Amino acid sequence: MLQGVAAGAGAAFGLSLVPERLLASPVSNSNPKRVIFFMQNQGFDPKTCIPEGMTGSSSLANAKLPEPISALEPFKERLHIINGLHGIHTSPSHSAFFGALGGYRGSDGVPPSASTIDYELSKVLPPTLLPHLCIGMDSIENMTTKPTIATLSASGAGQPIFMHSNPNHLYQMLFGGISTGDIRLQHEAKSNLLNQIEMLAAANGQSLPSAERLRYSQYVQGFSDLNGLRNRLDTVSDHLRKFAPVVDERYTKPKFETDWHDILLDLGISALTSGITNTLTIGSGRGEIFGAWKGLGVEQQGHNLGHMDQPDNPIWIKIRQYNSRMLVRIMEALESIPEGSGSMMDHTLIVYTSNNADKQHTNGANWPVMLLGNFDGAFKTGCFTQLDGKRPINSLYATILRAAGQNCDRFNMDDKLAKKFDDGTGPLKELLV
């Protein structure tokens, strides 16, 4: 959510950067990259994504994708299935929580011990109005009672990033300027409030000794950034209108939680296609070991879903197919927006995996991942890669950081840990072109 605003305040809100420039405009000559993390909870069993009979690395061209991900069949030239990364050090049984994207030990109630990869990428990618957006999908009860929680992303040790689960709030934040009705009123009231808070905060800084002013001015600047973001979003409202989803009944009267999942995804996609952000994290099941998908006809919810073997399980086939359709929606939307000599999708990387490695009760020895898109030609696609289980998910994250332009050999892994948990160093060459 808005954390990125703060984190990127210095770079992202320089006065010289006009909003159009920050919108990662599709007409720009440069190729602004974007990255999406889709984290399904309860594990990602490799059998549900690796084509039958495929054991070693090979092309997917002549293979048939398994039923759970069959929706990706038309997109398989963009797909790269990776098996054999590990996350033993993240203690992923019952979810690694922040550790899944951080590559460090996580567990229920354990605060993040460092920043996570999505946040780091949001800093490396070209500045956008909102450097990083996190959305979380859960049971309807959880999404209404706890519309924001923080379980997956972090900007540093002890600094969790909240994810959005109430689409009404999220719509107001992203598209309040072009909203109507109740959302409009809320947007206006909040705008007024934030302006007043900024004024009060600034007035309270007047009396500070000079030595304290600088530190306090960062506080005031924070409000200035928030108000600035809103104003800038307002100034590009014509542009945003083209991308904003239409608010319908599902926002206020969802029949199932999956209605909200769908519109949260719409909002996430709009934030990408409109250029408001270029880093999106989706937590399906919000990093925990529960979650519900009643709209798919999955009557069971919660923990039991994790106790089932996923392959050939009708419930998990439904959930994974639903995920796959979501991935397709993202790709189709990004393909429809021209960018450079191709489309937005050409410069995008989608990382699909689980915050729970391969299954709910796991030691993390295998952590399957699917990549979609080649990130402006950086990643190989249309193939399956079997790794030897000796490199951690951290190495995948280091690889993406490299491809995003950050020179880094390891992500959140010092030499001492690497001695135990990483057989190599630098990016995963098997993945890069």
Partner 1 sequence: MIKVRFGLVILLSCGLMSVASGEAYQPGQKVDSDYGSFAQPFLTSHCVDCHGETEPEGNLSLHDLGPVDEVNAATWKAIWAQVSLREMPPREVTQPDVVERLKFSDWVVAELTRVMHDKGGFHAHHDPHKGNFLDHTLLFGPLPDGIKLVPTSSPARIWRVTPQEHITRLNELINTEPDFDPEKPGLRTHGDVVPTNHGGELKLYFGTDRIIQWQGGTVAYATSVKSVPAILSSARNHGLENYPDFYTVNSAEATQIMGVAEDIIEYMADGPLSIAQPYQITDDPKSIADKMKGDLRGLPTSIVYSTKVKRPLTPVYDLMKDDGVTDDRLRAAVDDLFERLTFRPPSQTESDEYLAIVKQSIEKLGKRDGAVLGLSSIFLDRDALFRPELVEYGKPDSHGRVMLQDWELGLAVNHALRYIKPDEELRQAIVEGRMRTKADVKREVERMLADDTVRKPRVLRFFRDYFDYDLGGYICKDSKALADTGVKTRGQSYYRAMFDATASTDRLIELILHEDKDVLKQLLTTNKVVATKAENVYFGKKLSREERLAAEAEAKKSEVEIAQKEAAELEAAQKEVTELEAKLEANSEEKATQRQLAQKKKALTAVQKKIAAAKKERRGNQNSNVAEADLSGEKIYSRVSRRSFGTGSMKPDRFLATIPEGQRLGILTHPSWLVSHSDAMDNHAILRGRWVRERLLGGGIPDVPITVDAMLPDEPNNTLRNRMRVTTETYCWTCHQKMDPLGLPFEMFNHAGLYREVELDKPVDTSGEIIDSGDPALDGKVANAIEMIQKLAESEHVEQVFVRHAFRFWMGRNETIHDAPVLQDAWRAYKDNDGSMNALLVSLLTSDAFLYRTRDVRAFVEVN
Task: Write out the binding residues for partner 1, residues 65-104 only, by CB under 8 A.
Answer: 89, 94, 104
Q: According to the binding rule CB under 8 A, does residue 185 interact with partner 1? A: yes
Q: Which is nearer to partner 1, 105 or 325 (CB)?
A: 105
C-alpha to C-alpha distances, 220 to 123, 189, 194, 230, nearest whole angstrom = 22, 20, 11, 16
**Least Å distance between CB 323 and partner 1?**
20
Q: Is 32:126 a contact under the CB 8 Å cutoff? A: yes
- Binders of partner 1 among residues 276 to 295 (CB under 8 A) are 288-290
**Among the listed residues 157, 248, 377, 388, the single contact to partner 1 using CB under 8 A:** 157
**Among the listed residues 18, 30, 74, 146, the single contact to partner 1 using CB under 8 A:** 146
HEC readout, the chain: CCHHHHHCHHHHCCCCCCHHHHCCCCCCCCCCCEEEEEEECCCCCHHHCCCCCCCCCEECCCCCCCHHHHHHHHHHHHEEEEEEEECHHHCCCCCCCHHHHHCCCCCCCCCCCCCCHHHHHHHHCCCCCCCCEEEEECCHHHHHHCCEEEEEEEEECCEEEEEECCHHHHHHHHHHHHCCHHHHHHHHHHHHHHHHHHHHHHHHHCCCCHHHHHHHHHHHHHHHHHHHHHHHHHHCHHHHHCCCCCCCHHHHCCCCHHHHHHHHHHHHHHHHHCCCCCEEEEEECCCCCCCCCHHHCCCCCHHHHHHCCCCCCHHHHHHHHHHHHHHHHHHHHHHCCEECCEEHHHHEEEEEEECCCCCCCCCCCCCCEEEECCCCCCECCCEEEEEEEEEEHHHHHHHHHHHCCCCCCCCCCCHHHHHHHCCCCCCCCCCEC
**Among the listed residues 25, 28, 58, 148, the single contact to partner 1 using CB under 8 A:** 148
**Least Å distance between CB 30 and partner 1?**
27
Q: Which is nearer to partner 1, 30 or 196 (CB)?
A: 196
Total of chain residues touching partner 1, rule CB under 8 A: 75
Q: Which is nearer to partner 1, 6 or 408 (CB)?
A: 6
**Among the listed residues 14, 74, 77, 111, the single contact to partner 1 using CB under 8 A:** 111
- Binders of partner 1 among residues 210 to 229 (CB under 8 A) are 210-212, 215-216, 218-219, 221-223, 225-226
**Among the listed residues 77, 141, 312, 332, the single contact to partner 1 using CB under 8 A:** 141
- Binders of partner 1 among residues 297 to 326 (CB under 8 A) are 300-304
**Least Å distance between CB 365 and partner 1?**
12
Q: According to the binding rule CB under 8 A, does residue 114 interact with partner 1? A: no
**Least Å distance between CB 232 and partner 1?**
14
Q: According to the binding rule CB under 8 A, does residue 63 interact with partner 1? A: no
**Among the listed residues 14, 74, 158, 297, the single contact to partner 1 using CB under 8 A:** 158
**Among the listed residues 160, 275, 283, 364, the single contact to partner 1 using CB under 8 A:** 160
Which span (63-71, 183-191, 307-315, 326-334) binds partner 1, by CB under 8 A? 183-191
**Among the listed residues 42, 83, 142, 273, the single contact to partner 1 using CB under 8 A:** 142
Stretch 237-276: interaction string toward partner 1, x if CB under 8 A: ----------------------------------------
CA separation for the pair 231, 226 (Å, rounded): 9
Stretch 20-59: interaction string toward partner 1, x if CB under 8 A: ----------------------------------------
